[in-house]
Amino acid sequence: MPPLVNTPVYFGNFLVTPQVFHLTTHSFALVNIKPLLPGHVLVSPRRAAKRLSDLNHVEVTDLFLTVQQVGRMIERFYGASSLNIAIQDGPAAGQSVPHLHTHIIPRQSADLDGQGGSDAIYGMLEGEDGDVGKHLWEKSNRRPKFPAVDDSSRKPRSEQEMAEEAQKLAHEMKQQQLHEKSSSAAL
């Protein structure tokens, strides 16, 4: 399945073009290799800025408008009633890839009751489960000498699985944009 984007898209040092489902002038949205919950996606600036403060005002505006648009679509598509939107801004905050990114995680009532309640998502983001950089590193052919221990309940997804989800979400983004355009025209 060909990627939706014709030019290479990098997330840090990782080529993620097949995972990209939405692209703007300054931002891109991609499916996550190892989502914490179904529908967990990332939105990142196209320029490999490490921190939010590294972005100029045009990039900040584009990033947050993209987060808003993608969030609406993800919430609808996954039947969520709420979203977690998070940025780990720097290594001390848990950022694992030195490229600013925003997590969008669709939530439903009681979805993490068996894991300590709705706030358990924050521990998941900061722990090994949320270490996007580690999962991308393991997926690449540059594996560390000793394999890392991973939890058995969450397996990294294949390129094909991520590309298929990216295709579905790209379609949904187009549908949403058409709907929003027709709604604003009616005003």
The overall average pLDDT reported for the chain is 85
pLDDT-above-70 percentage for the chain: 83
Q: Is it the case that residue 83 has pLDDT exceeding 90?
A: yes
The yes-or-no answer on residue 101 being catalytic is yes
Rounded distance, CA 75 to CA 83, Å?
Answer: 7
Residue 86 and residue 125 in contact, taking contact as beta carbons nearer than 8 Å: yes
Work out the average pLDDT over 87-96.
92
Q: From the candidates 22, 40, 101, 103, which is the catalytic residue? A: 101
Rounded distance, CA 128 to CA 99, Å?
Answer: 18
The pTM of this model reads 0.80
Residues 6-55: tens digit of each pLDDT: 899 999 999 999 999 999 999 999 999 989 999 999 999 999 999 999 99
pLDDT at 143: 38
Task: Give the burial string for 44-70 (b: 16+ CB within 10 Å, else e).
Answer: bbbeebeebeebeeebbebbeebbebb
Task: Scan for tokens 């790209």, then name that residue.
Answer: 170
Q: Using alpha carbons only, what angle is made at residue 131 by residues 94 and 13, rounded to the nearest 5 degrees?
A: 95
pLDDT at 59: 98
146's tokens: 């000793």
Rounded distance, CA 131 to CA 134, Å?
Answer: 5
Work out the average pLDDT over 153-169.
86
pLDDT at 146: 29
